[in-house]
């Protein structure tokens, strides 16, 4: 059921903490989330890693306290353990949010994440974005990445061509 929910989600937020790698369930879910992100990223799927009191390099390299937890995690075989390792390496390289306990108020940080997501979701659901966009689904993700919509400056795009069929 959880795997189905992962596949049907448009947004995946992964919160890496020092104890994250102790959980085989978290590691299995991470592998699924990254699979979905590869399949659907050009269709509006968003992946947002948050590193909470752990450095991205510790996740990427399975080092420090994070690495100790990873070494304790119980995989059913070496293939599964290697899949987790590859997923952690990949996740540690994705553009992300990072918060230290002392860095800022957690409520403020959560507010920033929610604001960021709200802007992205609003843009993707805008009727101006999808109206009459027949046959453009495969290019939408590329266009969004080019727009760099998380920036606060002004962007404008014009699309010229024949209007598609309105169904």
| Catalytic residue, candidates 29, 82, 90, 150 | 29
CA–CA gap between residue 157 and residue 97 (Å, rounded): 28
Q: CA triplet 32, 37, 38: central angle to 5 degrees?
A: 100
The answer to whether residue 29 is catalytic is yes
- Of the candidates 27, 30, 94, the one whose C-alpha atom is nearest the C-alpha of residue 60 is 94
Classify 41 as helix, strand or coil: helix
Strand 11-16 with 46-52, pairing: parallel
Residue pair 167/134 in contact (Cβ under 8 Å)? The answer is no
Q: Which active-site residues does the annotation give?
A: 29
């Amino acid at each position: 059921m959880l795997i189905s929910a992962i596949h049907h989600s448009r947004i995946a937020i992964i919160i890496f903490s020092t104890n994250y790698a102790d959980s085989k369930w978290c590691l299995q879910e991470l592998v699924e989330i990254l699979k979905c992100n590869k399949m659907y990223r050009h269709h509006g799927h968003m992946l947002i890693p948050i590193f909470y009191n752990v450095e991205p390099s510790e996740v990427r390299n399975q080092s420090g306290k994070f690495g100790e937890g990873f070494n304790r995690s119980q995989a059913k075989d070496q293939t599964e353990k290697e899949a987790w390792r590859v997923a952690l390496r990949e996740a540690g390289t994705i553009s992300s949010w990072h918060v230290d306990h002392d860095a800022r108020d957690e409520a403020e940080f959560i507010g920033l994440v929610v604001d960021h997501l709200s802007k992205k979701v609003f843009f993707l659901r805008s009727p101006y974005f999808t109206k009459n966009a027949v046959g453009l689904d495969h290019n939408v993700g590329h266009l969004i990445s080019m727009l760099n919509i998380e920036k606060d400056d002004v962007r404008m795009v014009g699309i010229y061509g024949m209007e598609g069929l309105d169904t």
